[in-house]
Amino acid sequence: MADDRLKILREEIDRLDGELLRLLNLRAQKALEIGEIKKREGLPLYIPHREKEVLERLVKANPGPFPSGALEVIFREVISACLSLQRPVKVAYLGPEATHTHQAALEYFGTSGEFLPVRFVEGVFQAVEKGQTHYGVVPFENSTEGVVSSTLDMFFSSPVKIVGEIYLRISHHLLCLSGDRRDVKRVYSHPQATAQCKRWLSLHLSGVPVVDVSSTAEAASRAAHDPGAGAIASETAALLYGLKVAQAGIEDVKENYTRFLILGREEMDSTGKDKTSLLFSAPHEVGALCRILQVFAQAGINLTKIESRPSKEKAWDYLFYVDFEGHAREDKVKQALEAIKGMALTLKVLGSYPRYRKEGDEYERKA
């Protein structure tokens, strides 16, 4: 009796799988038709807020028991595959393969994109600026170690826009060929990763030299060719470079997130749940910065980040980076920006883009 019921259920699943396959191909056909219209009208190939709307609608409509998290992953891949039929989305990222930035790019665009690893942050900006890729992905700030200065500095001169963001929970592992940390005589990693693990390193590998390299993936590559070396990198890097995990989760703060920015050339439309980033400089006058910040408060605009950096044009001259909730095309934001323009020495809007969704204090998608 049980065998008969099992057979019937499996036959039903086979039938449903066939129906899913039919519907996926039907969706792909519609995506191709949309692609032709976009090409004819000169419209952008990829619209991040459209994907965001699709995913939010599906998650909201999901009655279960299929888990919403898995639903997002599946439909992001469906969207990615359909886009690749129109024309592969080309994405530059801070490489090489298996860096956390590579993981962020895959998470944001899906695996059907065409991904180009670039050795330096400057190269990612240049790839987007010159039209070699449609988009770029760069690390911007870590929840424990702060801003990635090389990324922030590029916005001072680059014309590229911020068109999106994604947060990943970052977990670092000590990797080596043998899987035994007693064999590790030197450790390779990126300075940001090292800084996020400094307490663990001082407790468990005190006296072992730490060598800075350009990425966690490069660290893994070096350790793969050196029996006496270890690398602080991801589990993905361990798989790619044939290493073993000597110690998992060595980051000092377990709630360790990195925010990655998506770079593009087009301005994003308003979604109603947006963030705007800008740079400005203030006159060297008493209360100048305070007066500018008061404009945001008086307009009821919530600032989510403010960071100062040397302008690199004049000693002791600073630029301020600000994130706030809202879109540059909203009336209250436009009015605030006009007011600030009259107070600031310089003002540059870096982009308005969909805010990354979060639930409570934790970001919904985690690495």
Residues tagged active-site:
258, 260
**% helix, strand, coil for the chain, step of 5:** 40, 25, 35
Q: How far is residue 236's CA from residue 243's CA, in Å, rounded to a whole number? A: 10
Residues in CB range of 122: below 8 A, 6 or more apart: 150, 154
* Whether 156 contacts 319, CB under 8 Å: yes
Which H or E run includes 59? helix 48-61
User: DSSP letters along 22-38, please?
Assistant: HHHHHHHHHHHHHHHHH
Q: How far is residue 122's CA from residue 101's CA, in Å, rounded to a whole number? A: 14
* Whether 127 contacts 96, CB under 8 Å: no
Q: How far is residue 4's CA from residue 251's CA, in Å, rounded to a whole number? A: 52
